[in-house]
Amino acid sequence: MFVRLQLAEKITMNLLLLIMASIWVIPLVYLVMYSLEGGNWANYEAVLSLDLFPRFLLNSFIVSTSVVLLLLMAVSLAAFGFSKLKFPGDSSVFAICLIGLMIPPVAMLVPLFQTIKAFHWMNTYLSLIGPEVAMSIPFSLLIARNSFDEIPNELLEAAEIDGSNAWGRFVHVILPLAVPVLTTIGILAFLNSWNQYLFPLVFINKETMLTVTMAPKFFIKEYTSDYHKVFAALVLITIPIVILYIFGQKYMQRGLTSGAIK
């Protein structure tokens, strides 16, 4: 049951939120200010004039988009199966799928490297797409299954009476109602993939296949480093995901809270 907050409680809560927001905003402000020192906009021009920078952007876009599409296909089908198509041992299989939440990506780095090398995926998009999709499935499946559980079974039963098969119920009933949670999963997957630094660092050693997160290292030399240009590169890398979050914020709020109330 919800209660009305008193004025003092509202002020206290707003102050706490302001403090929490400052913890995140202040470093960003410092990032932008430091990127403008020692040359102002010339630092950004130097980054944009980097010959491989457009290629880095293209690689990141290809990888992130592929991760989103593959993840949404896998997670939506799996969540539908676990939520609406009951089968023997479904709870045990679902629990096994969630084990990935307990394993940090760094702990999987050596096995992943051996697997990528065995598949001859080094210096390819697959070396970045495959591990990212695999690492994103457990959490995405958890929130998608919880959201699908909220969809009334009566809707599926009505569609079945009308002659719809399992695939028809998934496409015409589940997917339209699951847009908020699937949008949330897609945005989070895109952000994580766009910001991924570890996988390109380990699996890619060909410059033309690097992603945009590798751009700052071109301004870090063995004996000298131009950190103003490094910070400018970081700001440019951040712009696309900030824009994506601004336009997808309302879907993320609905998607993350779906399944929270039974």
Determine what percent of the chain is predicted with pLDDT higher than 90. 32
pLDDT at 1: 44
Q: Which of 25, 8, 40 is closest to 228 using CA atoms?
A: 40
At 111-151, the pLDDT tens digits run 999 999 999 999 999 999 999 999 999 999 999 998 898 88
Contact 166, 85 (CB under 8 A): yes
Mean pLDDT, rounded, for 100-118:
88
pLDDT at 255 over 80: no
Q: How far apart are CA 241 and CA 251, in angstroms?
A: 15
Contact 237, 213 (CB under 8 A): yes
Fold annotation for 36-257: MetI-like fold (1.10.3720)
Helix (H, G, I), strand (E, B) or coil at 163: coil
pLDDT at 59: 94
Which of these ranges, 39-53, 84-98, 243-257, has the smallest mean pLDDT?
Answer: 243-257
Contact 204, 127 (CB under 8 A): yes
Contact 190, 71 (CB under 8 A): no
Taking the domains of the chain in order of start, what are their residue ranges?
36-257
Per-residue DSSP letter, 124: S
Between 225 and 189, where is the model more confident?
Answer: 189
pLDDT at 221: 72
pLDDT at 67 over 90: yes
Per-residue DSSP letter, 220: B
Q: How far apart are CA 238 and CA 241, in angstroms?
A: 6
Contacts of residue 117, defined as CB under 8 A and 6 or more positions apart, other chains included, come to none
